[in-house]
């Protein structure tokens, strides 16, 4: 039975070595490169349509058509900022999605999993917010992630450059971990078998946004401040929800006048 990348990483994150993580990413990039060589933009890359079958990673859920009047948004954290802004899906927007997949493999978390997939998140992404690089991530791998999700599509690597750089990193980690088994080894003779024609039943939300500003990058310092503020706001919201729930529990089925009648007289105490 096929297993998607989201479930695989979540289930195995405690035992996945960096060699293994990078090998998975290499296989995925090779699969996507075959799509790009065929002059096809996938448009909907996310961790639920990366499928592991018989020890190999396949791509599913191709999106060959979009409405002519408005862009379509599925899986908002993986959508490139220029597409959110209303521009067309391109090879570069696929590369942005790959950057998010690289981060997801490194963290075993969904990008922006603490946020609602709404207009506010869309604005934050367009204004340069990205997930924090996970401590312990290899430096060269981190640099590739940041290049892939650059706000300027022209500054992102193409699929061939990305594949070559990943294989360089993988080679260095393979040398450091010679005893690690690797079922996802890259074999150029099998490239034609890497694209799946099966279509995954998508449960993605669809989003349309208007009035989105031009995409931009943010400095590391500003990104850190923004994310600290966002984390603080999320914490405050949680506290408020907890307080509201506690108040509802205390006051269940009681009106204020009922509570007044139930007060214990002073002379009883």
Please check whether residue 205 lies inside any domain of the structure. Answer: yes
Token representation of residue 183: 């079922």
Look at residue 210 in the predicted model and tell me its pLDDT.
62
Consecutive H or E run containing 169? helix 159-176
Look at residue 60 in the predicted model and tell me its pLDDT.
87
Look at residue 222 in the predicted model and tell me its pLDDT.
55
Tell me, yes or no, whether 121 and 199 share the same domain: yes
Please check whether residue 46 lies inside any domain of the structure. Answer: yes
Look at residue 2 in the predicted model and tell me its pLDDT.
80
Tell me, yes or no, whether 207 and 242 share the same domain: no
**pLDDT tens track, the chain, 269 positions:** 589 999 999 999 999 999 999 999 999 999 999 999 999 999 999 999 999 998 889 998 765 544 444 445 568 999 999 999 989 999 999 999 999 999 999 999 999 999 988 889 999 999 999 999 999 999 999 999 999 999 999 999 999 999 999 999 998 876 655 444 344 333 334 334 433 333 333 333 445 566 666 777 875 555 555 556 556 555 565 566 666 666 555 555 544 444 444 454 555 44
Please check whether residue 224 lies inside any domain of the structure. Answer: no
pTM to 2 decimals? 0.69
Please check whether residue 70 lies inside any domain of the structure. Answer: yes
Angle at 170 between CA 168 and CA 174, to 5 degrees: 120
Look at residue 172 in the predicted model and tell me its pLDDT.
86
Q: How many CB atoms lie within 10 A of CB 233?
A: 10
Tell me, yes or no, whether 97 and 181 share the same domain: yes
Please check whether residue 90 lies inside any domain of the structure. Answer: yes
> What are the phi and psi torsion angles at 122 (to 5°)?
-60, -45
Tell me, yes or no, whether 41 and 85 share the same domain: yes
Look at residue 196 in the predicted model and tell me its pLDDT.
35
Tell me, yes or no, whether 251 and 136 share the same domain: no
CA 170 to chain centre: 22
Tell me, yes or no, whether 130 and 257 share the same domain: no
Please check whether residue 106 lies inside any domain of the structure. Answer: yes
Tell me, yes or no, whether 247 and 178 share the same domain: no
Tell me, yes or no, whether 132 and 257 share the same domain: no
Which single residue is written with the structure tokens 């993986």?
78
Look at residue 220 in the predicted model and tell me its pLDDT.
53
Tell me, yes or no, whether 186 and 251 share the same domain: no
Tell me, yes or no, whether 134 and 254 share the same domain: no
Domain count, the chain: 2
> What are the phi and psi torsion angles at 58 (to 5°)?
-125, 160
The helix/strand/coil state of 4 is strand
- Of the candidates 84, 52, 82, the one whose C-alpha atom is nearest the C-alpha of residue 70 is 84
Tell me, yes or no, whether 181 and 257 share the same domain: no
Please check whether residue 65 lies inside any domain of the structure. Answer: yes
Tell me, yes or no, whether 39 and 165 share the same domain: yes
CATH number at residue 35: 1.10.510.10
Please check whether residue 79 lies inside any domain of the structure. Answer: yes
Look at residue 250 in the predicted model and tell me its pLDDT.
56
Look at residue 223 in the predicted model and tell me its pLDDT.
56
What range defines the domain where residue 110 resides? 3-216
Look at residue 118 in the predicted model and tell me its pLDDT.
87
């Amino acid at each position: 039975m096929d297993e998607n990348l989201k479930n695989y990483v979540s289930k195995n994150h405690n035992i996945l070595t960096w060699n293994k993580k990078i090998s998975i990413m290499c296989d995925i990039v090779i699969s996507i490169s075959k799509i790009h060589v065929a002059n096809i933009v996938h448009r909907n890359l996310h961790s639920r349509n990366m499928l592991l079958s018989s020890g190999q990673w396949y791509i599913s859920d191709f999106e060959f058509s979009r409405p002519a009047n408005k862009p379509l948004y599925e899986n908002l954290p993986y959508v490139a900022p220029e597409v959110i802004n209303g521009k067309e899906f391109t090879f570069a927007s696929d590369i942005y999605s790959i950057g998010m997949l690289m981060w997801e493999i490194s963290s075993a978390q969904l990008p922006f999993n603490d946020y609602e997939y709404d207009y506010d998140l869309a604005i934050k992404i367009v204004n340069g917010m990205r997930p924090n690089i996970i401590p312990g991530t290899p430096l060269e791998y981190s640099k590739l992630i940041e290049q892939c999700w650059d706000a300027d599509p022209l500054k992102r690597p193409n699929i061939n450059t990305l594949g070559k750089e990943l294989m360089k990193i993988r080679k260095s980690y393979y040398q450091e971990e010679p005893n690690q088994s690797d079922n996802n080894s890259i074999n150029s003779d099998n490239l034609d078998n890497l694209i799946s024609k099966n279509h995954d039943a998508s449960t993605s939300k669809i989003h349309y946004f208007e009035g989105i500003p031009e995409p931009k990058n943010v400095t590391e310092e500003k990104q850190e401040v923004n994310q600290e503020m966002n984390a603080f706001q999320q914490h405050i919201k949680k506290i408020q929800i907890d307080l509201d729930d506690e108040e509802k529990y205390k006051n269940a089925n009681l009106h204020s006048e009922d509570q007044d009648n139930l007060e214990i007289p002073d002379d009883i105490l």
